[in-house]
Structure 1
Amino acid sequence: MRRYARTLVAVALATTVMAGTAGWASGNAQQALTGPPPGTAAWRADHVLGRELPDPERTTPAEVNRFFRGLTAAQQQTLVVRHPLVVGNLDGVPVELRYRANARSLRATHDPRYTHLTEAGAEARPGAGARPGTEAEAGGRDRGSAAAGDRQILAFDPRGRGQVAEVFGDLSTARHVAVVVPGSDIDAGTFDRTSDVYGTPAGMAKALHANTGRGSAVVAWAGYTTPVGVGVDAATGSLAAAGADRLTRFADGLAADGVPAPAVFCHSYGSVVCGLAAHRLRATDLVVLGSPGMRADTVADLHTTARVWAAKDTTDWIDNVPNLEVAGIGHGPDPTGPGFGARRVPAHDAHGHTGYFAPGTDSLRAFASIARGEAR
């Protein structure tokens, strides 16, 4: 009876503290976006190439990549034009084709939430590193493709709140790759913004790429349904579990296209995603920052060969969230705690929950060293 009472108290404490933290509003329940890309039904029914196309739900990223590499440039372009939402979001499709397909999808959408994604990115290098069999080799691209000045959008799914991934740098030639996984309140509409820049995936990725230098590429990946505000979604792991599946397949798709294993940077609730994905996620390093927990008691419990790093500054409100997991509420121990076993990242001059990637901070310098494979 006493143990049961302690459990109730812990759950009440966790819920109360999380609901009142940093002025966040109560969360609205979200339905995780799962399954194959939009447009899959039309893709499955299309025999334009005289054969069945690979099933987006059952075909592995490696099999998808082999299929596309076996097509002519004209056949690839046919699929880009007929099914841009599938080609642009199907893990394993060659990167350059995904850029081209997503540029088409963004041009076709009339949703004002996504107009900012068509603006040219200062660090994007459209058209760089085109590989054999792409339209670039065949003598040019269609108007509005990545080569025409659009950002390097690696995924764009307009369903629900929208999901997006953007690349800074050249994935086809990068020796070192990083992926940024964001936390709550991130979707296609908040993917980048002028306020709180380093709390957005695009802002974090752009800052990291600016510090890793030539020969690197950074992916801002907002490819899962995030919690809105702080409520049941943020305090439990259901959205993180769905996100872990999507993150794992995304990383497998990069591997299938010959991209080096990435260092994965996981912010806030994104670290819960990374914790649940760790045992099957292809990564050299897992770096968690402002983490409420990884749903593991220790690094060993993650069952990963990746090096695990953790950062938390003293002004981060996440420090007020109880590090417990009771009856599915909460995400477990603080990864920066001495008993967890993660390597510590200096973060004394970061400010608040979204200051870890701010230029000039020790944390950003440490992140860049990890991304370049230099940190020990």
Structure 2
Amino acid sequence: MSHSFGSHLRPPPPDTAHPLRRVVLVLAVTFAVLVAAGWLVNARATEPGPFERQLAQWSQASLAGQPLPGPEASAERVAAFFAALAPARAHELAERYPLVVGNLPGAPVPLRYEANRLAVEDAAAVEARRATDGGLSGDGRREARRRTHRLESLLEEGRQILAFDPSGRGRVAEVIGDLTEAERVSLVVPGVDTELLTFERTEGRWAAPAGMARALHAEEEARAPGARTATIAWADYEAPRGLTMSAATAGSAEEGARRLLDTVRGLPGGAEVALFCHSYGSVVCGLAADELPRRVTDIAVTGSPGMRAARAADLGTSARVWAMRAEDDWIEGVPHVSLGPLGHGDDPVSPGFGALPLASDEGGHDGYYLPGSASLRNLALVGNGEATPEGCAPEANDCEALETCLGAPESGPQG
């Protein structure tokens, strides 16, 4: 249904906490055995993908005798490089190396949109050919057709693709609104099963990254008409698939945190930023927290398995940390423990963690961004900078007072 933490599995009943702890213990022993046997490795031997091939060419190129700035360059250096270029030369680089320019933090945002559109067109053509390739299996051709459909949807008029890589399961980030003129930016970080094919969905629309971001942006605009805001659906990391070993460890989140930091540091202007981290995405945000720039004012987690910290204060960020969990979210039954590399630590909604609590109605693990819901409304308050610690009564640990103080939503959930 969605690409959040364990979204493809049936929610465990409330009385399964002890069996789940036994499962975590078994996984810990299994992990130790596999590591000792050398069966678990982080690197996979794969052929270079389109991005790697273009990056190799970019790295060997030069302009006026100077090397081109690579992904390791700071966003400031990249911005200065493009500011010194004639527009025609910048467009030439985007056409020749679309995957590099389109994924280069610090490059002008409109140029990244242009480059990524070219890259998506190229990828769609490749998948269309694969869809009719008699040398592929039936499953291979069906997947190619699905990828072609998803890529063609990214090419629809008005879509602003900030990052794109068709390699492997695919990564993508999309902007809703005017990023260059925004005074506040909301960035949605999804969880498990995030990839190109699940970036947007017809069924389970509001649990897919694109749907989550669109719903949040619409709610923020409804609350503050005329405000200059932008929202990013950020599916630009290789998330775990399902409740596998990788979902219980931080490997994917560590790589995601590095990419998230690059994204935030490369945002244009001086807009304040709020991160909205769902499920395993909250692990990504937790690991990135201590290196986030001060422009990040808020981190809001929903349905979190943990943030790899015992307390909000341990995250090492100046941002306000908010936590929300629906009463019927099955993730409440997942043990918030750390056993060696397994588990993601303490429960962010527990009073001892110290996060600012946000109220939610009952929508399950995938319902936080459902239009018309109290949860979406409260997330929009955070995104617009309207929710502050003073907006919630100090004694109200479940933060029902946030709804009371700031006004209850006028209507119930919509379809």
User: TM-score w.r.t. structure 1 length?
Assistant: 0.82
Cα 1:114/1:150, change in 2 over 3 Å = farther
Identity %: 45
* Cα distance in 1, alignment partners of residues 119 and 158 from structure 2: 12
Structure 1 residues 237 and 305, CA gap change in structure 2 (3 angstroms): same
Of residues 119, 129, 153, the one that matches 1:119 is 153
Partners of 1:325 and 1:351 lie apart in 2 by: 28
Q: Deviations over 1:223-249 (max 9, x none)?
A: 111000102100011111111111011
Could you tell me which amino acid in structure 1 is paired with residue 344 of structure 2? H
Structure 1: any 5+ residue segments left out of the alignment?
A: 1-8, 19-27, 121-143
Pairing partner for 1:60 from 64, 74, 81: 74
AA paired with 1:52? Answer: Q
**Does structure 1 conserve the Cα–Cα contact (< 8 Å) formed by 2:21 and 2:335?**
no
1:175 to 2:187 alignment: no
SS in 2 for 1:119: helix
Q: Highest CA radius of gyration, 1 or 2?
A: 2
| Aligned-pair CA distance for 1:306 | 0.2
Contact 1:266 1:287 in 2 (8 A): yes
The answer to whether 1:157 aligns with 2:165 is yes
Distance of aligned partners of 1:186 and 1:15 in 2 relative to their CA distance in 1, 3 Å threshold: farther
Specify the alignment match of 1:278 in structure 2: 289
The secondary structure found in structure 1 opposite 2:353 is: coil
Q: Give the aligned partner of residue 289 of structure 1.
A: 302
Q: 1:118 to 1:150 in 2, by over 3 A?
A: farther
Is 1:198–1:355's contact at 8 Å kept on the other side of the alignment?
A: yes
Q: How does 1:16-165 map to 2 (within 5 A)?
A: 38=52, 39-47=54-62, 49-109=63-123, 110-111=126-127, 112=144, 113-119=147-153, 149-165=157-173
How far, CA to CA, are the matches of 2:94 and 2:339 in structure 1? 47
Q: Which amino acid aligns with 2:95?
A: V
Residues matched between the structures, number:
329
Any unmatched runs of 5+ in structure 2? Answer: 1-18, 29-39, 128-143, 389-415
Aligned to 1:123: none
Structure 1 residue runs of 4 or more that deviate by more than 4 Å after TM superposition: 15-18, 28-37
Over residues 244-285 of structure 1, what are the superposed CA-to-partner deviations in whole Å (9 max), with x where a residue is unaligned? 11101110011xx21513100000000000000000123110
1:365 partnered with 2:349: no
Kept after mapping to 1: 8 A contact 2:253/2:281: yes
Structure 1 residues 53 and 259: CA distance shift in structure 2, 3 A: farther
Indicate the residue corresponding to 1:194 in structure 2.
202
**What CA RMSD, in Å, does the superposition of the two structures yield over aligned residues?**
2.6
For residue 58 of structure 1, report the CA deviation from its aligned partner.
2.9
Q: How far does the alpha carbon of each residue in 1:277-310 deviate from its partner, in whole angstroms, 9 at most, with x for none?
A: 0001231100000000001000110010000000
TM-score (norm 2): 0.75
For the pair 1:14 / 2:51, whether they are aligned, the reply is: no
Match of 1:217 in 2: 230
